[in-house]
Chains A and B, each alone.
Chain A
Amino acid sequence: MNNGRKIKVLVSVIGLDGHFTGAQIVSRFLMDAGMEVVYLGIYQTPEMIVRAAIDESVDVIGISSHASNYGQIGLLIDLMKKNDLVDVPLICGGTIPKGEAEALIKRGVSKIFPPQSTSESIIEYIVSCARG
């Protein structure tokens, strides 16, 4: 534990992806793990996500993706770099094809969790990067 710090995570769905169930489930178990989750909801643009991450001063950004809008995630990572959010890891979860996933990791996404990932593995990863 680093003094009184709580882990604060931004959870959002990006672009024209209306699937919010995944994001809500993740928000819920992160809360149950003692984290503070800023939940943005659906139809967020990379600009909105970056602005919220700055204003909320979060440790980690989590994007739930169930549509083929990987381009948006790429744009988000670029915008994060431009806004000096390099110390904030970007995590993605959902159905992302292998080739796309590899490209996103190369571009700077910290970790991608496929749909069958356990909540424990996600929590553990977030704790390790927020405290690392």
Chain B
Amino acid sequence: MISMTVQKILNGDRRTAARLIRDIDDGIPGTREILKAIHRHTGKAYVIGITGSPGVGKSTLVDQMIHGLRRSGKTVGVLAIDPTSPFSGGAILGDRIRMQRHSLDDGVFIRSLATRGQFGGLTQSTRSAIDVLDAMGKDYIIVETVGVGQDEVDIARSADTTVIVVVPGMGDHIQAIKAGIFEVGDIFVINKSDRPDAEKTLHDLRALFDIARKKLTGEGWEPPILMAEAASNRGIAELLDEIEKHRKSRKTLSHETVIHRKQAVARDELIDMIKCRLFQEALDHITSSPEFKIYLDCVTEGTKDPYSACDELLSAKLCFIGDEVNRKPDLQEYLVAQK
């Protein structure tokens, strides 16, 4: 069963891949075994991250990039990520609208994902979705995210080349720095350069760059700042050229740097994965216990403060967290006495 699914993915079967990504996103347990099996077939695709504030033209840019890459005969996978509403848990995924002309192209696979807001969940399921598209044999995988939070920065980190998109005016670039995405950018694009103030934005960005560059580790790549007009396909060829240059620059890195980077990426990935599982399983373990219910009642009634409840629960339920003071020898008995 697993091997059949794996084979279909390797053959590029979009229906199987689509289903698998859905199951991964929904956290269906069986998907883990499939991910293990396909992982050794990954690592061939080149991953490009596109990030920037809402509405800067990321999807339009991606659409033009797909067009350019397809013209040079490359296959493309796209993961377009939109935010989940914190109020309802729902989402409107509207990035496909701008990429519709590629929807019937067999060499293109576009998939929308919602951030879902689970602890580290975005990074996890996006990474897994990248693996699936990679195993399908896509030459390039483009990941579009709204650059607002930590998760988005993490995603940028799992891309081979990260493109930060800003627009003239509105202090957009300032925001980008605030969110910490400035540091992860390999290429900067000032989109909508048909708008006034494009030159000024270029100037501002250059100035900020000179300050920021001192912080960069000097790996021989100076992030270029490009002007583009995605809506009329201007500056896209240059962007694709710069991405190729960046790709090549990575090949000329010293053996040591390469190993060092690989290790950093592997470390990030592994720690994220551990974090995600640890969080889910530990939380489930605690909240499904009878003691949790008792503590909840105590805190609700005001007979116990939430700080003590937290410390005692963690100490009791997770043997490696907390300390002896909080670890009651017999929690059930202790709780009965408390009541």
Query: Within 8 Å CB of A32, what residues of B?
Result: 85, 87-88, 90
Residues 35-65 of B contacting A (Cβ, < 8 Å): none
Report the interface size for chain A: residues with CB under 8 A from the other chain: 28
* Docked complex Cα distance between A44 and B14 (Å): 20
Residue B28 is within 8 A (CB to CB) of chain A in the complex: yes
Near A by CB (< 8 A), chain B positions 94-153 give 94, 96-97, 100, 103-104, 109-112, 114, 116
CB-CB < 8 A to B14: which residues of A?
54-55
Q: In the complex, A93→B14 CA distance in Å?
A: 29
Residue contact A57 to B90, C-beta cutoff 8 Å:
no
The answer to whether A51 and B93 touch (CB under 8 A), given A32-B88, A33-B88, A34-B88, is: no
Considering only CB atoms, which chain A residue lies closest to B80 in the complex? A38
B106 and chain A: residue at smallest CB distance: A51
A3 touches B100 (CB 8 A): no
Say yes or no for A31: interface residue by CB 8 A criterion: yes
Partner of A37, one of B21, B92, B116: B92
Asked whether any CB of chain A lies closer than 8 Å to the CB of B248, the reply is no
Residues of B within 8 A of A35 (CB): 90
Return chain A residues, CB-CB under 8 Å to B25. 6
The interface residues of chain A lying within 8 Å CB-to-CB of B90 are 6, 30-37
Contact A36 B91 (CB under 8 A): yes
Cα–Cα distance between A19 and B234 once the two chains are bound (Å): 31
Q: Is A36 a contact of B114 with CB atoms below 8 Å?
A: yes
Contact, CB under 8 Å: B110 / A41: no
A27 to B103, CA, bound (A): 21
Q: Can you list 29 A-B contacts (CB < 8 A)?
A: A3-B26, A6-B25, A6-B26, A6-B90, A28-B92, A31-B91, A32-B87, A34-B88, A36-B84, A36-B90, A36-B91, A37-B93, A38-B93, A39-B97, A40-B97, A41-B100, A47-B104, A48-B100, A51-B104, A52-B96, A52-B103, A54-B14, A54-B18, A55-B14, A55-B110, A56-B18, A56-B96, A57-B18, A57-B19
Report A's interface with B, CB cutoff 8 A. 3-6, 8, 27-28, 30-41, 44, 47-48, 51-52, 54-57
Besides A6-B114, A57-B21, 5 more A-B contacts (Cβ < 8 Å) are A31-B85, A32-B85, A33-B88, A38-B93, A56-B96
